[in-house]
Every structure is written in C-alpha cells, then in structure tokens.
Structure 1
C-alpha cells in the first residue's frame, strides 16, 4: 500500500516514485513501445481530401505529445534540482506549455473543420485519429492525458452533426473521456485492483508504473538538451552567497511583490490566464465557500480587443470578469497576448501592458494596479513601463504547476509541501484548467485546518480582512470534507449463542458497508467488517487497536464505526448507568468481563489520531454522558481545525430496537441509509454532517417507533463535525430504473412528515433547530449548519439528485419540480432533461415526454438510453415511424445494451 504523500505528482514527482503503484493491465495483448522511439502516426482512413486533413492533424498531435513529454522530463526529479535549475526548468516548461496551448488550439480548429466537412470520408479519418489515441502501441497511458482537451472539444464539434455515424463517433469519444478519467485516477489514488472495463474500441488501461514511464521518456529527451533548445545552458554551480546577501536576495520585495514578506501562515491566492467561460466562475464559487479573496490576472485578448483609435471592444469573456469583480474578487493585468515580455521592447511591449489595462478599465473602472509578467519574464524596460503606467508587478513564491500537472492530488500535495517549507506566500494557479477546480478544495481545506489566513488586495497592499469573511459575505466557509483517508469498522451480529438471536443486524451491517464503499468512496480494504462469529470481544477490540490505532490512520483521516447488535445497561453502585455493546461471545451474567463498556469506547475514541470519528450504534442502552451537539457559523469556519468524536444511537436503555423495516433492515438503519442517501442534507449544500444526520434520523425514528435515538459529542471532542460528501447522481432514468417498494415508500412518507417539506421539495437554507435526546434521556437542541454558497452548476446537480430520490418514491409532481429547477439552473443539463421526460412518461404524458427525450438527444446525441425512452414515448403516442427510428438508433449505439432485446421486440411489434 502506498501512502498518500508518496503518490506521484504526474509531472514532477519522479523522485518519489520508487514505491510504485502496480503494473498495467490490458484486455488484449499490446506490443510494448519501442525504447527510444516516438509513437507512430495514425493509419489513414476516408477519402483523399479527408486523409490529407487527417495527416495534417496527426502531425499536430505528434507535436502536442512531444511538448507534453518534454515538459514532464523538464520537471521530473523536482526535489533534486537546485534553485537555479528549477527556476530555468519552470520558465522553459511554462513556455513549452503555452506554446502547446496554441498547438492545441490549431489542432482543435483543424478537427472542427474536418468534423464539419461535407466529405463522406470524414468519419473514417476521425476514427483513425481516435484509433491512434486509443490504442497506438507507442503511447503510454500518461501520454493520452495530453489529448484530453482536444477530445473534449472534438466531442462538441461532432455533437453538431445529427447523422448516425456522428452519433456513434460522439459515443466513442465519450467512452474515451471516461477512460481518461480512469487514467487520471490511476495516479490520483492508491488503487491495486484492475480498473473498470471499456469497450473494445476504447482506451484500454495498461496500469504502467509512473517511474517506468518517466524513465522511458528520459531515453527520448534530456533536460539539458531541452533547455538548450530553448536557449538555456546552465552554468556550473557557484558557491552559496554569504548569509547577509542571500537573505537580502530572498526577502527583496521593493518594487515587486513576491509574498515573502507576508505574515506567517498567510497566503494570497492568484489565478492566471483567464477569464475562462466555465472554470473561472467555478473557482469563484469554491473561494466564496471559504470566504477566501483572490486575484484574477486576465489575459487581454480573453476580454476583447483594442482598435486603432484605442477604443476597447469587449467580448463574452469580459462578462465573466464583471461577475468576478461584482463578487469582490480583484481583477489584474497579465498582458494582452501572454507574450514573453522580456524579449519585447518599444511600442509592442507598451501595448501588451496598456491595451489590457484599457480593457480592464472598461470592465471595471476600479480595476487593481496589479500586473503579472507572463512566465515571470521581465526586463528593465518592462518594469519601467509598469512604473510609468502606475502599475505594480506581482510575482509568486509558490508555483502549483497546475499548468503542467494533470493530476489534482499531486497539485494539492505540491502546494501544501511548498507552503510547509515557505510558511507563507503568493500561490500561482491558473483558472483555465478543470484540474485546478478539483485541487482547490483539497488545498483550502488543509490550509484552514492548519490555521492559514487568506489575504486580499485592499487597494494598496495585501492584507487579511479582520472580523468578517472575504468579499464582505456573511456566509462562512463550509464544513471541511477534505479528508485524507476514510476508515470504517462495521459490525453486525444476528447469531448470538447466549442472547436472543436477531434477524436484521448482519443485513444492516452489509447495507452500511456497501453505502460507504459505493456511495462515499471508502476503500474496501479500509472497511473492516465483522459479522456474527467474527465479532467476538477480542475481534472487536483488535479491529480498533490493530487495524486503526496501529494501522496507519493519520490526523487528517476520518473513521466511521457502525454496530448492529445487542446493547445492555448495567446500574452501578453509585446509581449511574453504564452502557455496553454485546459481542457475539458475551454471557448475559458476565457483562463486566465479556462485554465492551462505553467507557472503553470513549478511551478508544480519544486514542485514535483521526480528525473526525463518528459512532453509529443500532442498539439501545444508556450510560454514556454526551456533550451537547450544535452548530454555528463560527463552528463551520473552524470545523477543519477541530477534533470531532460523536455518537448516534438507536435508543435508550429501556427500549427495544424496532426490526421489520424495508429490505430486511431495522427501522433505525433504514432511516440512517435514507439519510445518507441524501435526505439528511438538510441545507442542500451537498454535505451531510453528523449533526444533520442526527437531526434527520432521531426525530424520524422517534416518530414511527418507540425508540428515541440519542446524539452528542464524546468527551475529548473539540466541536468538530463528521462530514459525508454526497456524490453527484449520474443515473439516466429509464424502464430499468428500480423504484422503492410500497412498504418502503409508506415508511418514508411517515419518516418525512416531520420535515414539513415545501411542495417543491427544496430544503431550507437555514434548517431549524431540532430537539433530540442525550443518553441520559435529557432533551437537547441541535442546529444543523446553515447552507453554504455553491455554484449554479452544483445547485443544478443537487436539484437533479433530489428529483431522483422523489422519483424513486413515486412522488412524480415533486420530482418534476426538481428536474425543472435543475434545467432552469443549467439549460444544457442532459441528465435532468432525460429525467424530466421520464417523469412525464410515467404519468402517461407521452407527447411531453417525447419532446424532452428529443431535447436530451440534442444536448447529448450519443446517450443511448434517451433513444430507447424516445422509442417508448413515441410508440405510446401512436407515432410508429418515429418510434422505429428511435429503437433502431438505440440498437446502432448499444447493440449489446441492457435494452437491446427489448428494443428488438418493440420493432417486431411496430
């Protein structure tokens, strides 16, 4: 098992790669790439004209790949490089990267032209290019990440063509994008098992080790040669400067700002190269959640142009910047064309600076005077031009390398490691990459947990805002879900020898285990499961002590403990109750020696090094003093810093667990699983805290049974709250979608009565306080956390997910409202469009359903299930011809799909 810190930064951690991550796997044998050779060109397909276009694009792909590989070689062994060599490698690497962005743009234009061509051979030529990316023996898995942006763009180009060959090609590209996501995860997680299967034509994963990949690239290129090609020859090392001189050089900030003079544990977040039509706003939404200010250094041509009379003409990118400015973020200048200004002079140099300043003033008259030289490359003339324009140069001392590193986890690790060394500084990010969006929450969670402050530009300097979150927002930072590893102990005992046997406990434990793994991403090997005879006293305590206390749990991890079995209460001579959990081998008259007292659970909880621990006990007992659970805005801001030790129990000592819930679960565990399914997200922010879980489960269970669940914090807790992060639902509704049984729906309707849900099913932004019991039977009020601000895209996903829950409970009107809300928030949301259509279908509103399935196909033309749904809707609406076409298209896209036999049967009937 590889520890998280040893996972490689995909472009800059070859020095850490000795641990390895397993070998590649493939479904069919593939020859290994020849040592010292580059990949071969794709084979030809299509007509002569299409072949000519294909050959030109193939050459561009080769150039993109070569630059990508050179960047990796430049930045490999990052830790072993001296400061001078690292600085030169970064500078040349950035040049390679930005040159490659232009190559990718040219290749994208060529692909768009080929996809839009009337030439009948275009599909064969595009298919040949995909063959190269998917299966060329000269490509390594990591190589294929170089083509991710191009594939994403090509999918959009192909979507404009409604022909069947285009739809098939769109489907193939979508499968390739899924495969690239798997490749990214290969380097992002500690995974030993073989990854998911892909269709024969798609990219097949070989599971190569990163160090082998880097070693082979070094046979193709050397860092020295790459630097030389870009005009750099590193001198021999010189003796270190005297301490006084070195200190002066390191701390100099006169005239330029590097971030080294910031207060300790203070950072400035900066984002270059935007604005980007999607990622800039998503980054702003994340920053808003944390109350963190930031500076967005804009490239002028992304905002508009300046005509001969020096008038600014803004484009759509300017609207993104206006929104950033309105939200309180700082707009700054990053030159007009991202040229290397150290090589420019005269009018060209001044135009790069002043034209962008003019565009920024047109966006926001109060734009900041901050300027960042592209690549950090500047000269005396450039600095003088800034001074004359009353602008100020801002550099950085923490480079995330997100411009080169495709893996979010390694970007986060690099930033945190650099900050551990520097202690403060200006962090360089780019708001033009999806990987930055993914890495940012992980970084911010850790910075908050470690007590860092975020400084913003106040008009004259970088300063930490006092007293209120950044941008003047009342909202606090969200509860941190940025854990390291997730661990669990899940125990279920039915087969007691000396206690009454139970019927549901083992199934409860299995249901919780699968939810943790399938829904919340707990690694199966970190979920310790003890059933029946395995759950002896020694086995349970051994799981805590051997698997957790001494099994590698780190301070930023979380631990979830679930117990389903008998609980018991013994009255002590002092009159105080003491609760026990009952192992499978315990005797009723030997509780003191055979059972596990709650005091021992408390001691275990305090001994664990994890940040947050949550015990959920599907057993009834008393005898554990819990402190009050609660929530406030201050709590939310500090949650990432605070230790949390919490417990939720099924009931009090004089109560019996109510079995007989749906699907073979107890009522308590069924309610718990419904809460974890999304119903306990009371504020709608996509996070379920232990407090929210208790606020949903406790009153719901008490309302349908004689149990009164209890909740609180164990001694030693510092107020931290355990967090589950809800994954986005991706299910396209169809005939195969399973809905809940009638008894499950009936119980859920009773459980949800107390929620007083509004007709539209939306959660309240500020959930009310809920009264629950502690284990002494006393009442306490707990308040779920207030909602945190999230982007429209996230809100749309949450609305879709609520709609899916409601559909499965056959609440069609409420589900329709949620899917409609999702589409209002995100007009191109194919998943919500399909799901809305299927709600209409279930209500026998076939014409409306057909229209929404057609809308789905327009948004995502290769979505096979939408054609199957369209066939059903049009057939029932009496339009046999359209139904036949839809069923045939489904079979073309998914000849072996789960609905293929059904589609053929329907065609025979029509």
Structure 2
C-alpha cells in the first residue's frame, strides 16, 4: 500500500490551495450558501444513524465535515489576536467562540455516530464513502495541514469502529487510518503552543499542536474570515463608541434635538429664598423662559398620612410659575438615585411629585436625576409617573466655580462648541446671579434663541420641536410643484416609444417618494402637449395656483429636441411640442430663450428643468458653493437645467422597464444613487454629477447641466425619505435587464470617489467641473437610517455583500434598530444562510416584539434550516399578531406541513 498523502506533507501545494479559498476554488470555497446544508445534512445523518440500512448519503457527510472545518477556522480567527481585542470585542469573541465550539462538538459527535453506523451496516457502498472521506482529509483541495487536525478525533473514532471488522478490506482501511493518524501526530507535535491557547479553554476536544508557519496559516484564514464577520454571523454587532452626550435615550432629553443657535436654560436644587427670584427677574428682563428643577425637601414635607404639606419656600415656586417658567422634579433629597433600589427611587420621585402637584398642578412632567446619574432601570421607573428625564449638554459648573467671570467664559465657550442645547445652572448660588446677565448679554447679541418647555415639547416662538427629535436639516420649501410633459405620438416627427412612460414614472416618483401633492404635479402628454398648452401652463397656470417665493418647481420634458443655427452662426436649441413641425421651428417650437424667460418669470425660489431630449444652444453659468449649504441655499435664487444630450445626439430609448436610458438613470439617481456625499439630500448638481458619467457610459449621449442666467447660485434639493420597509418575500428586486444596466454603469464608475469632481458638458458644448458639496454631519440615528436605506438599494440590485455591510453599519450606529436587524437577517436568508438569518430575525423581535413580519421571516428561516419547533412557534406568533396579514395564508400553509 502506498504511503498516506499526509505523510508527504505537501506544504507548498496546500499553501497554494488555501490562497484560492477567497476566489471560490476547491472543496472548501465557503461560498455564501455554505452554511445552508448543515441543518438538512445533519438531519440526513441523524436519519442514517437511526436506520443504517438506508443508502449512505456521501453529500451529508461532506456537508457536516465542511461545517466542522468552518467552525474550527472561525475559532482560530476569533482568538488568534485575542490580546489585541478591545474588552467588549474580547467578551463577545469569548461568548461566540464557545457557542461555535459547542456547535462543532455536536457535529463531531454526530459524525462519530454516523461513521460507526456506516461501518457496522455491512453495506457494500460503505467502502466508497469511506475512501472518499479519507482521500479528502488526506489531500483535499484547499486544505492546509493545520486544517486536517480538525478531524483527528473523527479518524480516531473511525479507527475504533473499523477495528471491530475483521474483513480484508477493513484491515486495509484500518492500516490506512493508522498511517494518517501517525502523520497527524507528526504535524500535531509542531503546533503545541498556539492551538492549545486557542482550544485549551474548551475542554477535552482541544487539539494540541504547533507548527513553525502558524502565522502564515492564520493570515490565510483571516483572508476568508474576520472577527467582525464571525460575530455578525452569530447575531452580534459591536456598536460604535458613543461620545458622551451624542446619543440620546428616547426617555432622556439632552437638548441635541434643538435647532442650531437655540438654548434652553435650566436651574437645579431650588427653590431658594433669595436667588431663585433674582434669577427670575433677570430672565424676565431678557425675555427668556427657564425650567427650574426643584428638590422636594425645599418645597415641604409629606405627613404621616401621605399628604403633602407645603413649606415656607413654596410661594417662591408659585411665583416662578406665575412668571412663565416651568417646574420639574429633581428628587426629594438629591440622593444618588442610579444606585438606589427601586423602592427608594420611587419614594423620592413620588414625594416630590406630590409636593409639586400642590404647587403647580399637573405641570411640566419633567425629571432631572441628581448628578445626572441615570440608568436604564431608573429611567424605566419614571414611566410609572409619566415623567420624562431631562439631561443637559452644557454645564456651567456654577456649583464648583466660585468666580462669576470664569463661569461666564466656560458657558460661552461650551455654547460656541455645541451651538445648541440645554444649559445647566443652579439657582442656589450668588455667583450664578452675577454670571447670568453677562452670559445673556453675549448670547442675545449673537442671535441665540431661547426655548421654553410646553406640553411635552420644546417651543421656540410659535414653533414646536418634539423632545428627542434631532436637529435634522431640511430643504425649507413651503410647497413643491411639478410640470411633467411626455410626448410619444408626434405627427410630423419620428414616433418615440418611452417618453410618456418616462413622464408618468417621474410623476409617481415625485408623489410617492418625495411627497409632492398629486394636485401640484401638472401633466401634459401626447396631444395635450401643444405649444400653447405648455407655455400657458408655465406662464399662467402656476401663478394662478398660488405659487410663492419659498416654493420649488420641477419641469420635466420627455420628447424631441432640436437645434437651429442662426444667421449669426450661434446655435439655438428648441424643445418640440406635439404640434410643431421640422420646417417651422421658429414659430411652432419653444426656443431655449423662451425657457430662460419662463425661468425668470416663475416666482418660486428654485426651478429645475430636466429635459430628456437632445439639443444645444444655451449658455449656462455656475454659482459658487457654500459649506453651510442648506442655510445659504434657502435664500438664494436657483434656476438650473439638466438635459439628456447635445446637438445631433439621439435619445437612447433602450432602458429597462420601458424607459429611456436617461430617465432610467435619473430615477435610479433619485432613488438614492445620486446622494454622492451621503447626507440624505440630492442637489441638482449631485444629480448631474451622477447622471452625466453614468448615462455616457451606456449610451452615445453626453448630458449637459448648468445654471441659467439670472441664477444666484441656489440649488434645487431633493430630501430623501427614510425607508421603512422590512424585507420579506414581498420585497421586489430589479429585473435582469435593469440589473445588467446598473452593473455596467457601476463598472464604469468603479474606483471613482463619489464626491470627486465630475467633468460634464455645458449646453454650448463646452465642459465644466462639478463638485458635490460637503456632507452634512448627521446624528447617529439619521446616519443609521441612511445606512439602512443604502442597504435596501443594494438588496434590490442583489448586491448582497454591499447590503450586508450597509445594514451592519446601521446597527453599529444604532444598536436597537429593529428594521436594520430584520433586513440583515433577510440578506442572509436570500443567500440560504438560514441559521445566521434566524439569529438576526430573533434580534429584530427582541428589539421590536410587535413586528409581525419578523416572526414570519423567522418561521421561514427555521423551517428551511430544519428547526421545525421554532418555525412552528414563529408562524403561530405571526398569525396571532397579523391574522389577516399579507403572509397569513403562507403561514397557515407552512403550519399544515408540520
């Protein structure tokens, strides 16, 4: 018998094979669906153990062995750099490493039982199955010598089983296994320290080996696995570290949600017999409201019968109320409530609420924790009293700083840095009385506004800002209007195929995605789109409908365009109404000069012409950008135009879903692809910077863009809505033609930074560079939403790796984001990774137990993964929550299969 391939130790061949793992080569390529077979394979092996007379399933043996090796490798990656992990990462790695280890133990025990049953079955086919198994362990493509040690105990169990059989084939097989075990022993002796460190913590099945090239082996594994990916597969994503004050519990108001240059002044520890009223007088002088958080022991006491008895300082609090301020609960005795037991905490809250009710009635329903020391448990205790906790993000330190001028400097410095928020003072110190006027002088001079607290929300003048809301920038438009024109049926020009469909698709996008009111989107198609009707709509109808200065207007035209050379030699572009002929352009078509006149006559702040037609002949200018973009943009006039191409270019009608190439790409841009700086807003410039190279990459068109004369640099802005869809079987994905076109565009744009300057055409045929503006810094919750939205976009295009990364990013930013958790689970599900999918559906349910679709998804993942009891429970829960839901018939059908 020739020596076992293990004894040859083919180091070079194994190394080269392992390098191919990431490319999908070899038996252990770990393609996305690798985990899928484990559940069903284990069931098949379990069935064989129960009935060894059935035909052995070689594929089931291979699938379970593949999962054993996958788990073995993951454990090595988790602990190879354990000393370099952050404490939170190390804790999660230890927990999940143990879970993977015990899963592997179950698989190895099952393999032992199945191999023993196979040998004992006496079936003639058993020899072929065992030969294939040993050949793969000995020389399988993609296996490194260290990998083979994962099956040392499997070979030992097989040796024992074969030793019971005295037939000649069994004797030969026994000798072969002994040679393999001897070779593994030689390898094992070289691995002692490293693998003992990894596996020694887990008990008897740890493998004790060492190899001189261990670092090379681990480096290859890291090319396939990462700690972050392993944790994610097992339902764990470590959130980004939170900067103090940057994140806000929904039950604790920090002031980060106030608009820029807006403050709320708060005062703790009163009432005080002297300083509270002096502070109130100062606030009255400046017209500034305040919130006073009061200690119950300063207001009075609770008698033996549990009734409030007001003390001598209660009239001070009543005077504060009469002066327009609000009173909040600051506990009874200023105890350290985060460490108090539930009973003591509730007593502190209840007693002060009773005294405040005697002073002010129902009141502000606010609570401030002494020392700001809240905890999840103490925050939960407030709910029984219908109270909201209010923290602060600007601390005067007036309780510690005895120098008024130092307090002034500190507060102003922090305000300059924060630009908004809740300021903490104390109305029990004279130094606060001295510092407050100096602070208010400066803040009033700099234009700061001062919020009050009314009916559970911040109030600034007449505007109400809900508590907990983030200061999200907005486009600032009063109303949105659109004129949408599409012409296919030209009597005197070549007929177009997709113009009307393009116009209708854009109308739906404006209404359904960007919340344009349906009666504000005015449409003309085919025979309606005469010259007189188009000009009448733009000149007169918009004005009659009440268009105002802070509105925006989008004009979309899909149809023919043409260019006429004037006697001066200058080109003049035209859009072609349905009743215009090629021979009478000057009188029947609409020249670009008329479009310019229309643009100047429309009273809206921003007007954007999007022309899915090709022509040339209008000079454009560019306005300068601004770092404080949205604020500046709100006051600048904007008149912009984007066209599909230049003179002598044909509009390409061969786009997906019955659209032109230009309009398809426009719709994709508005779906989020044109948000080049990732801030949730798409400017006309960003749209052009995305469309121009994208359209040019798949057609002979060269879109042109610029600002019309008279524009003051203002930008038309689309604000992307937050996606709320929980991925499910009902979620639509793009058809093959759309995927193919998008992939072609993506390949052309690959390697180009989205925010890099883009060179595009002007309507005169020249070139200009467009640079998308700087991104607006988003709060973590808004950034998480944007990441989730990108994940949905990637999912619709079947870019599952990108979708997985985007949903994971959303969960790093917002660990309680049930929407992203479900969606991450569904990405795993679509790749047939049912165990991973189930973990994330369970996470979504923990975050939001009322979300019925997550139970339906969980049921499906468990059903297909072979976890039938869990699947039944999930489907039953779905039907309890949504007995008439869209998936109810499907759930009932599944339940009938158990």
TM-score tier, shorter chain, comes to 0.5 to 0.7
Residue 345 of structure 1 and its aligned partner are, at CA, apart by 6.2
Establish whether residue 602 from structure 1 lines up as the match of residue 596 from structure 2: yes
Establish whether residue 803 from structure 1 lines up as the match of residue 837 from structure 2: no
Cα 1:358–1:494 change in 2 (3 A) is closer
Equivalent position SS for 1:336: strand
**Preserved CA contact (<8 Å) 2:684 2:717:** yes
**Preserved CA contact (<8 Å) 1:803 1:814:** yes
Residue 690 of structure 1 and its aligned partner are, at CA, apart by 0.3
The aligned counterpart of 2:294 is 337
Establish whether residue 830 from structure 1 lines up as the match of residue 798 from structure 2: no
2-side partners of 1:631 and 1:398: how far apart? 27
Cα 1:796–1:524 change in 2 (3 A) is same
1:251-650 → structure 2 map (5 Å cutoff): 277-278=249-250, 284=256, 287=259, 292-298=260-266, 300=268, 334-337=291-294, 360=395, 361=397, 368=408, 390-392=435-437, 403-404=454-455, 414=462, 433=467, 437=469, 481-628=475-622, 631-633=625-627, 637-650=631-644
Establish whether residue 724 from structure 1 lines up as the match of residue 718 from structure 2: yes
Establish whether residue 872 from structure 1 lines up as the match of residue 860 from structure 2: yes
Equivalent position SS for 1:568: strand
Establish whether residue 887 from structure 1 lines up as the match of residue 875 from structure 2: yes
CA RMSD, Structure 1 to Structure 2 (Å): 3.8
Residue 756 of structure 1 and its aligned partner are, at CA, apart by 3.0
1-side partners of 2:261 and 2:784: how far apart? 25
2-side partners of 1:663 and 1:776: how far apart? 32
Residue 597 of structure 1 and its aligned partner are, at CA, apart by 0.7
1-side partners of 2:398 and 2:815: how far apart? 29
Q: Which moved more, 1:623-632 or 1:769-778?
A: 623-632
Residue 384 of structure 1 and its aligned partner are, at CA, apart by 9.9
The structure with the largest alpha-carbon Rg is 2
Equivalent position SS for 1:694: helix
**Preserved CA contact (<8 Å) 1:506 1:531:** yes
Cα 1:299–1:903 change in 2 (3 A) is farther
1-side partners of 2:761 and 2:559: how far apart? 21
Residue 337 of structure 1 and its aligned partner are, at CA, apart by 2.4
1-side partners of 2:399 and 2:490: how far apart? 72
The aligned counterpart of 2:700 is 706
Residue 629 of structure 1 and its aligned partner are, at CA, apart by 5.7
1:662-741 → structure 2 map (5 Å cutoff): 662-741=656-735
2-side partners of 1:344 and 1:390: how far apart? 29
1:133-172 → structure 2 map (5 Å cutoff): none
**Preserved CA contact (<8 Å) 2:539 2:601:** no
**Preserved CA contact (<8 Å) 1:282 1:791:** no
**Preserved CA contact (<8 Å) 1:569 1:621:** yes
Residue 889 of structure 1 and its aligned partner are, at CA, apart by 1.2
Equivalent position SS for 1:781: strand
**Preserved CA contact (<8 Å) 1:299 1:338:** no
2-side partners of 1:699 and 1:402: how far apart? 50
1:223-238 → structure 2 map (5 Å cutoff): none
Cα 1:710–1:893 change in 2 (3 A) is same
2-side partners of 1:730 and 1:540: how far apart? 37
Q: What is the TM-score normalised by the length of structure 1?
A: 0.54
Q: Which moved more, 1:831-840 or 1:636-645?
A: 636-645
**Preserved CA contact (<8 Å) 2:264 2:450:** no
1-side partners of 2:550 and 2:690: how far apart? 27
Equivalent position SS for 2:462: helix
Cα 1:896–1:346 change in 2 (3 A) is closer
**Preserved CA contact (<8 Å) 2:398 2:407:** no
1-side partners of 2:429 and 2:607: how far apart? 57
The aligned counterpart of 1:792 is 780
Cα 1:572–1:286 change in 2 (3 A) is farther
Residue 825 of structure 1 and its aligned partner are, at CA, apart by 0.4
**Preserved CA contact (<8 Å) 2:676 2:686:** yes
Cα 1:628–1:524 change in 2 (3 A) is same
1:97-176 → structure 2 map (5 Å cutoff): none
2-side partners of 1:496 and 1:832: how far apart? 48
2-side partners of 1:500 and 1:387: how far apart? 80
Q: What is the TM-score normalised by the length of structure 2?
A: 0.55
The aligned counterpart of 1:160 is none
**Preserved CA contact (<8 Å) 2:263 2:449:** no
**Preserved CA contact (<8 Å) 1:853 1:870:** yes
Cα 1:640–1:344 change in 2 (3 A) is farther
**Preserved CA contact (<8 Å) 2:550 2:605:** yes
* 1:147-166 Cα deviation digits (max 9, x unpaired): xxxxxxxxxxxxxxxxxxxx
Unaligned runs of 5+ in 1: 1-273, 307-330, 372-381, 416-428, 442-477
The aligned counterpart of 1:113 is none
The aligned counterpart of 2:895 is 907
